[in-house]
Structure 1
Amino acid sequence: MIFSPVVKHSSIRAFFGIVAMHDLELEQLDVKTAFLHGELEEEIYMDQPEGFIVPKKEDFVCKLKRSLYGLKQSPRQWYKRFNSFMISQGFKRSQFNSCVYIKFVNGSPIYLLLYVDDMLIAAKRMKEITTLKAHLSSEFEMKDLGAAKKILGMKIKLDRKSRFLFLSRQSYVEKVLQRFNMHDAKSINTPVAPHFKLSALQCPSSGEDIEYMSRVPYCSVVGSLMYVMVCSRPDLSYAMSLVSRYMANPGKEHWKVVQWIFRYLCGTSNACLKFGKTNEGLAGYVDSDFAADLDKRRSLIGYVFTIGGCAVSWKATLQPVVALSTTEAEYMAIAKVCKESV
């Protein structure tokens, strides 16, 4: 099994919502050479590395006692080692997200989120975080990054006085705009305009259009914008759902929509998620259109979940099958959002 242990983006945002609501301390750690901590279960041999070949034993090979970077097993073995250590410390792993750990000390929770080798820790008292850091450092070689400031390229700003936490991708958005030479574009107020009606019929058919679109970095742009949407911009969900349907063979009209999204980002690059102290708990909203897809007449579903009034999970996507009525489309949308709520 090949995978790296990563916490879901929705779990990270829900975690930040809890931190802001309960005014928790928030710290960050990094594991040095994480994959080297894994313990191999198979018998594996490797050639002697260049520069470390034993004289007169050039034909010998090395038997690995620990995992190395480059092995298929390394990410899995690192996670198994870390998970067993956390369980031994009294933490419980979330049954819905295997990289979320919770432990209660005197009725107060300690949270730990793991993204490969990056960790976020939150607790009511700094003493509990310091104790956990000491236990982790005794088992693994750790780098203490102090108060959390950045995770997965997202900037974290925790204002303890006003009890607000801000999550932003402004620097990444500005880099993307610069990279595709759209930083000086005239800004607009909507992520996509209602007059855009995209379909497969607008895909290039003539040699001239095919040649023109071959010079357009459509896939690269959509992928870059998709990452912005997934991390911290629910307002881009519908627009990205629209343009990502034509990745295989985009046309000029599809490219116009992407340029429109760029212009929207020019004026909203500093937009961020704002988590704060509130009595509001988890709330979910869902809606569906009916057969709006011009190609296969499928319906679009859109949902968003909030904690404390701030979005933590969102999606806009076409339903997998064709609905026969608006009622059926709505039922399919509710079924989808109920799964996400669980």
Structure 2
Amino acid sequence: MHDLELEQLDVKTAFLHGELEEDIYMQQLEGFIVSEKEDYVCLLRKSLYGLKQSPRQWYKSDGSFVYLLLYVDDMLIAAKDKGEIRKVKAQLSEEFEMKDLGLAKKILGMEILRDRKASKLYLSQKGYIEKVLCRFNMQSAKPVSTPLAAHFRLSSALSPQSDDEIEYMSHVSYSSAVGSLMYAMVCSRPDLSYAVSAVSRYMANPGKEHWKVVQWILRYLRGTTDVCLQFGRTKDGVIGYVDADFTGDLDRRRSLTGYVFTIGGCAISWKAILQTTVALSTTEAEYMAITEACKEAIWLKGLFSELNEDFQISIVFCDSQSAIFLTKDQMFHERTKHIDVRYHFVRDIIARGDIIVSKISTHENPADMMTKSLPITKFEHCLDLVGVHC
């Protein structure tokens, strides 16, 4: 959106010291107490662990912004001006052993591809996915067009029943495979959300049929290694889409919540998760899903506020008119009195105007792919709506 410079660093040690503006005193450290001055205190010259001021002093600057993303020892740094980045690098190098990796190309298994002339940035996990396919001997498997076919009907009844099947599954790396799929789904592949949600429910005792579904997902990845998220410039704020699948879980008849949030038509946050209680109607399931999506919308607004991007109102689209009506109905009656109070907080959020919940056609709701298996045409349309491209 702002065509920022984006570079990468490798940090060998951890904490970032900032200059303090207030006078802060600290008791002398155990083992470093000056004799005959035991009642003295230390005046801090720089911030330390535990101070409320530490993160604030790091982020504060002279009106310009430097965004610094840190995960253990991997760091991305973004700023409008290369000079600002050089300054931060110099400051860090004075304090810590640093490795300057130049322009950002890869972080945590995610490849960053950038076309600045076209104002596009692509996030891909092609290399990671190819390694996963090799690890599970699926690099030559026949590709399939969707992550989960409609003929699969998973339940705990498919867990091993015979000694032979128990023996067979003891040699299958089911948990490792699902964990590998989960990492791809979390980072850059919202198209995997529903399928990964389904297979992850049986980690404790998977059967052959469950393993077939995991292999099916790997076959889908075999044909979609080039898929990536495509980000571009936009003036749009955060837009969310939410859907629910009523009693989709065959074991406990719980419903599934699915949502995806976009900026400029590209996914930035997504989830497919079983609801914690059993819904008594489709409307109730959709209502609980809207609540979860609105919680995420509130968090995203707070995040963008910290990043100095002020999106005043977030829009969440839902394809259930009755559930939308329920979010605006302040009356409690027979149909709603049993719903957990925590789901009703969404009414206050909507009444205040912080978030708008609007109706959308099911055919134009990309969250559909987060809650059910779809025909290939509809599935590809959903991917297009959230910026997932080859």
Range into which the TM-score falls when normalised by the shorter chain: 0.7 to 0.9
CA distance in 1 between partners of 2:242 and 2:156 (Å): 27
Residue 42 to residue 255, structure 1, CA distance change in 2 (3 Å): farther
Taking every aligned residue pair, what percent have the same amino acid on both sides? 67
Distance 1:43 1:221, change over 3 A: farther
What is the 5 A alignment of 1:183-262? 183-262=139-218
Distance in 2 of aligned mates of 1:83 and 1:267:
49
Q: Is the 8 A contact 2:247 2:256 kept in 1?
A: yes
Seen in structure 2, the aligned counterparts of structure 1 residues 180 and 28 have a Cα distance that, compared at 3 Å, is same
Counterpart Cα distance in 2 of 1:214 and 1:190:
28
**Residue 88 of structure 2 aligns with which residue?**
132
1:80 is the counterpart of 2:49: yes
Match of 2:97 in 1: 141
> In structure 1, the residue corresponding to 2:65 is in which secondary structure?
strand
* Structure 2 residue ranges without an equivalent (≥5): 18-27, 33-46, 299-390
Structure 1 residue ranges without an equivalent (≥5): 1-20, 45-62, 64-77, 93-102
Q: Against the structure 1 CA distance between its residues 229 and 315, is the aligned structure 2 distance closer, same or farther, given a 3 Å change threshold? A: same
Q: Find the aligned partners of 2:151 and 2:211 in 1 and give their Cα distance.
A: 14
Distance change >3 Å, CA 27–CA 331, structure 1 → 2: same
Cα distance in 1 for partners of 2:48, 2:177 equals 33
Instruction: Look up the match of 1:47.
Output: none
Q: 1:42 and 1:336, CA in 2 relative to 1: closer, same or farther beyond 3 A?
A: farther
Distance of 1:208 and 1:184 partners within structure 2: 28
SS class of match (2:78)? strand
1:144 alignment partner AA: D
Q: State the SS of the aligned residue for 2:241.
A: strand
1:338 is aligned with what amino acid?
C
Query: In the alignment, which residue of structure 1 is the partner of 2:43?
Result: none
Checking the alignment, whether the CA contact within 8 Å between 2:48 and 2:54 is kept in structure 1 is: no
Higher relative CO (Cα under 8 Å, sequence separation at least 6) belongs to 1
Q: 2:266 aligns with which of 290, 306, 310?
A: 310
In 2, Cα distance between the equivalents of 1:154 and 1:80?
31
CA distance in 2, matches of 1:186, 1:273: 24
- The residue that corresponds to 2:12 in the other structure is 32
Per the alignment, residue 75 of structure 2 pairs with 119
User: Which residue of 1 is the match for residue 327 of structure 2?
Assistant: none
Secondary structure class of the residue paired with 1:226? helix
Question: Cα RMSD between the aligned structures?
Answer: 2.5
CA displacement, residues 42-89 of structure 1 (integer Å, 9 cap, x when unaligned): 869xxxxxxxxxxxxxxxxxx9xxxxxxxxxxxxxx993898655335
What is the rounded CA distance, in whole Å, between the counterparts of 1:29 and 1:200 in structure 2? 46
The aligned runs of 1:51-70 (5 Å cut-off) are: none
* Larger deviation, residues 133-142 vs 259-268: 133-142
Indicate if the aligned counterparts of 2:241 and 2:261 stay in contact, CA closer than 8 A: yes
- 2:234·2:264 contact (CA, 8 Å) conserved in 1? yes
Contact 2:159 2:206 in 1 (8 A): yes
> How far has the Cα of 1:260 moved from its partner?
0.6
Residues 171-219 of structure 1 deviation map (CA, whole Å, 9 limit, x = unaligned): 1100111111101001111000011110111111111111111121111
Q: What per-residue deviation string (whole Å, max 9, x for no partner) do you get for residues 214-257 of structure 1?
A: 12111111111111111110000000000000001111111111
Q: Distance in 1 between matches of 2:184 and 2:171?
A: 23
